[in-house]
Amino acid sequence: MCLNLKKCLVIWMCLAALSVAAADITVATHYFYWYLWPNEHFRPKDQLKLEGHYHHFVTPEKVSYLSEDWHAGELWMMKAAGIDVALPVYWGAPGAYGKPGISFSVAGLGPMVRAAERLGERSPKLGLFYDTSTLLNDVRGAIPAGAKADLTTDAGRQLFAKTIVDYFERIPRKLWARMDGRALVVLYSSAFAEKWDKGLTAWAKKMFENQFPGEGLFLVADSSWGEIGQDRTTEWGAALVGPKLHQGVAQIGAGYNDSPVPGRTTPFREREDGNYYRYSWQKAIVHQPELVLIETWNEMHEGTEICQSQELGLKYVELTAEWITRMRNGGPIGEPIHLRFPNPRSFKDLSWGEDSANTTRIYADYRTGQRVGLREIQEPDGKVRLLADRLVSPPRKKGWDRYVYFQVSDHWRFESPQESRMKVRLELAKPARVTIDYDSHDPQSIMAGSYKRVPPSGGDRPALTHEFQLNGAFFGNRQNGGSDLRLVLNGGAVEIRRLEILVEDGQ
């Protein structure tokens, strides 16, 4: 429960002031309940620095998905902040409910339900955040290994729909979160499904209605699914990239930093002492949504949490209460907030490329084996082989995108100014079609400019040499693997002889 009674009373006062007239605006947040001290999403006491949490629970030894008291404290705090709906992040998978790593999903629901029943009106209602990672065969322990569920088949649709039905069978109807009178489900990314079609939602709704006569399903799908008959659309990534605004829905977050997680190289989002969260709320309120999704309540690994923490105390709980009050009362939202860092940032890496400092060009020459300030990066969608006189990107499976990633030394350029102008020269051993995605200042490009596409100056055609003009390059290590640009390839194998980047106009 709340560790600072005075502050919590202030929050309750804010909650009491909420306008009844705006009660049709639903505020929900993603509730990660996979924690169990000390070994599930934690580390032993002597390895706390390795636990992979950016911020830390106030009393970690009390955090457990099996603890009714822990759930009660989290749910009570959400409601105190004005949040209507908790969206438990559910990894349950029919046929694999006891599988290590995902068994928490079912094991934690009983204590959560008891906590919500104990709190009564002081608890948010319970919706469902369907973490579609369970569509991966490896997560469920299904065969064949490495495959994804095909949601165009009866078996795949059954898996999808039964996941939803089984979850709500474990939640008393009086606790169901509802939109338009129907049970609320928010669907994560489509990346873990092999195939799907427009009939997916209809299939799930039919099975749900058969299981729960008189009830219905309100599905909010991630935009990656396209059109599947959903009721509303949202988009994951607001905590890192910025507010995601779709018809009737605003998804927002307070910041992002997963640097404590081993192996992660994701860019981070500065919280700017709460200004990024305030900025996001401003955008959400102007959008006039029916549903606000706060990403997240307590994903400590990625540093997106708004719950109470050792480092930040109740700051973001109080900010949440303040901005929900503004939204529901129709009060002023203040002057537009201008962020110091409008885009996600990456950590500066000075471990290599010192010889590129104060130069106007960098290169990787695979004919001679010489390079200054430029190196290739291996990624799952960008595998390459280094031969004696060339860098080879082999053909990939038909229909898949294929890339070659490169990182620019931060001694040469890091977070370059918007006025920067650069030229890229690419020499190949065989003619091929190539375009480039580069990390830019352009907020309209993918991932807030991280992947701005530019064709060759000579046109999109097979050639031995290509030149590209990069205007407003940011080079903040924001692409996969901390890269700054990638070659976008199609067709057969591509063999690279030399890649060079030159600065123009003395930048």
Q: Which residues of the chain are in CATH 3.20.20.80 domains?
A: 26-329
Give kind and range of the element (H or E) at residue 286.
helix 275-287
| Contact of 77 with 170, CB cutoff 8 Å | no
Q: Is domain 26-329 in CATH 3.60.70.12, yes or no? A: no
pLDDT at 376: 97
Other CB atoms within 10 A of residue 74 CB: 25
DSSP 480: G
CA-CA-CA-CA torsion for 269, 271, 277, 278, nearest 10 degrees? -130
Helix (H, G, I), strand (E, B) or coil at 395: coil
pLDDT in tens, 324-348: 999 999 989 999 999 988 888 888 8
CA distance 227 to 17: 39
CA distance 70 to 67: 5
pLDDT at 46: 54
pLDDT in tens, 429-457: 999 999 999 999 998 888 888 999 999 99
Helix (H, G, I), strand (E, B) or coil at 494: strand
Helices (H), 108-241: 109-119, 137-140, 154-169, 200-211, 238-241
Fold adopted by 354-503: Jelly Rolls (2.60.120)
Other CB atoms within 10 A of residue 427 CB: 18
Q: Which residues of the chain are in CATH 2.60.120 domains?
A: 354-503
Question: What is the value of pTM for the model shown?
Answer: 0.78
Residue reference for tokens 């303040």: 322
Residue by residue, DSSP assigns 309-351 as BTTTBTHHHHHHHHHHHHHHHT----SPP--SS-S-B-----S
Handedness of CA 112, 114, 117, 121 (dihedral sign): negative
pLDDT in tens, 394-436: 886 655 678 999 999 999 999 999 999 999 999 999 999 999 9
Residue reference for tokens 């038909």: 398
pLDDT at 394: 87
The token duo for 449 is: 């400019």
10-residue stretch averages of pLDDT, the chain, 507 residues long: 45 42 81 95 65 92 98 99 99 96 98 99 99 97 95 98 98 98 98 96 98 98 98 98 97 96 87 98 98 98 98 98 96 93 87 96 97 95 93 76 94 94 97 95 87 92 95 93 92 91 79
Q: Is 80 exposed, middle or buried (0-12, 13-18, 19+ CB in 10 A)?
A: buried
Distance between the two ends of the chain, CA-based, in angstroms?
55
pLDDT at 9: 41
| Contact of 258 with 347, CB cutoff 8 Å | no
Mean pLDDT of the chain: 92
